[in-house]
A and B are shown apart, each in its own frame.
Chain A
Amino acid sequence: MSNTSYISRKQELPLKSENTSLFLQIIISIAVFIFAITLSGVLSIDSMISNWNKSILGSITVQIIPVNNTNKEKALAETMAYQEKAVEFLKSVNGVTKVTPLSDEQLDELLSPWLGDDVDISDLPTPRIIDVKISPDANIDFAQLSMDLAQASPQATLDSHKLWLNKLISFADGINLIASTVLLLVAAITSGAIFYTTQMSLGLHHNIIEILHIVGAKDAYIAQQYTKRMGFLGFLGGVIGLFFAVPAIFFIGNLALKIEGGIISDASLGFGDWTIILSLPFFAMFISMLTAYYTVKQTLKKML
């Protein structure tokens, strides 16, 4: 045997040869897989809400309700006059950067999914729409703006998108809450598996631990060996779980992109989100080490 063989010391507790190592690795791999998928969902929903917020924070929509008149031409002319008044008023508002009344073609395009391509909307009393862009720094009181607009153009109503967005956000928040509960459960199950595996191992190596105590080892010395081993298993399990989770996340992402309507496709993962997901093996390592250390210290307290 070489002279260096006893410099590279062997661990007193033969934890590497334990059968439970494979079991624990599989549990952690599955946990990290589920964790990564769920976390990507949570982060995507967050980015989706943030994108919605961004897109509507910079704009409002003003609707001109069509004037009711048996004479179609007169009614349209009056409605257009109200639109003109509303445009003029909106241009004078501080913080408004652009005011664009939608053309007939644009309105036609917006309504065609509901009314079909064959319907001539000029025959219908359809409202006129004005798209209003607002500076991101603008501090506009929308309630006051709505009242002022109604004075300037009685047929105009303001839609700040808040109502429907709030409903969507509260739905997304509900999904997020469920996903966060799943994350907590997965973390708890992983910790539980590490706790019971560590306890089982402590029982299995009771004699060795007794010898270590007799020669003067502190609990921390024994805990350190478990911490190292469980940390390694946690990291390895994390890498394996992530190896399967990343393609799955891309697959789900591609499926989401195929959904038309633009709502789901707003859900994307940014660089920061990927950094969090890719750091999961380190998170698994940390949880494993912490649980093992706590379990060993608590269990050894019962020994002399």
Chain B
Amino acid sequence: MSLDVGLIRKDFPILGRTVRDGKRLIYLDNGATSQKPQQVLDAEMNFYLMHNAAAHRGAHQLAEEATEAFENARATVARFLGAADEEIVITKSATESLNLLAYSMGNAPSNNRFHIAPGDRIVVTEMEHHANLIPWQELAKRTGAELVWLSIDSEGRLDLSKLDTVINGKTRVVSLTHQSNVLGTINPLDKIVARAHEVGSVVILDACQSAPHMRINVKELGIDFLTFSGHKALGPTGVGVLWGKSDLLEELPPFLFGGSMIDTVTMLDSTWAPAPRKFEAGVPNMAQAVGLQAGLEYLEKVGMEKIHAHELNLTQQFIQGLSKIEGIEIFGPTTTESRGGVVSFAVPDIHPHDLGQFLDNQGIAVRTGHHCAWPLNKALGVQSTTRASFYLYNEAHEIDSLLDGIQQAQEYFGRSR
């Protein structure tokens, strides 16, 4: 059974609007952020309309309802990832989740398993988004640890030939993306996780590009921490997820301090609430969490397997179409094997910015630039690329329009001289 995309599209009001003087919107920038179904908007608004109060505080009815709504959202996230409720930390963004881990580890005293000492090793990959690179660069600088990385091969996949030397006995952290936001590559985790655990390192997975698009079960993946952002998964902005194994969250020191994350407080010292609460200082982003819950429920109802299959169909159609246009270079795997619905490419003699502008004029929204993965662009030998990224509401004829648009841009920019 394939998706009823027509029915799905009816739930997304923005997809009905026009852009640039009456052009029908073709939204292919889902890797940056997804559009939101009415159900998400309703859930967020309903929280404010009916249940708004500060969760985890107060004994009045609204406070109870707000607490229940927030905890229900947590439970939905847990179910979505195959995790336990108490393993889910609600953050403001995936960027915050990754910074939380880096700063918490930086705070860990020498008798804590997360303590990072000079000479310890932090491992990332060459295809990381800046959000999963810079926090580790900074942690390495603060602690004297060494930052090393796994490189990519010519097809845009991780080169695992040096896995055993890159992840060595000094390695404390391996943090990598599940799916590249530029290449679309889905990274093979089994070998990496096995090697990391063999040397006593934790494995952190940036699932921003995977969790919204495919079924994830954290237990099956064997990893230790995972993060994804709400706004790429039909949810509102301002909400992210951090999952961690219970025993690890228990030992990890907190990062943000303040209300609600404490057990006891005196003028000179404090103790922490159990995880996940010790990582959720301040009044939480309740309405956004409730919105994310509605988004995840929407995805579950459609079915993650179906969504992934649908996106791979679109990806295949697009890659096949691109391969028929002369001179096009695709950055990343050219088959749908271990890849997701993100395709970056270059059109000869047209700068991505100009191509993006031309497509925008036809109502087609794509991403151009370095996609917050500057070092990866350097490794690919390009300054920037054009990226199309698909989601459950995209249709085959939209891919055709994109392919037509690319060819028209070639004619347009080839027009003078």
Instruction: Answer yes or no: do A and B interact.
Output: no
A residues at B contact (CB < 8 Å):
none
B residues at A contact (CB < 8 Å):
none
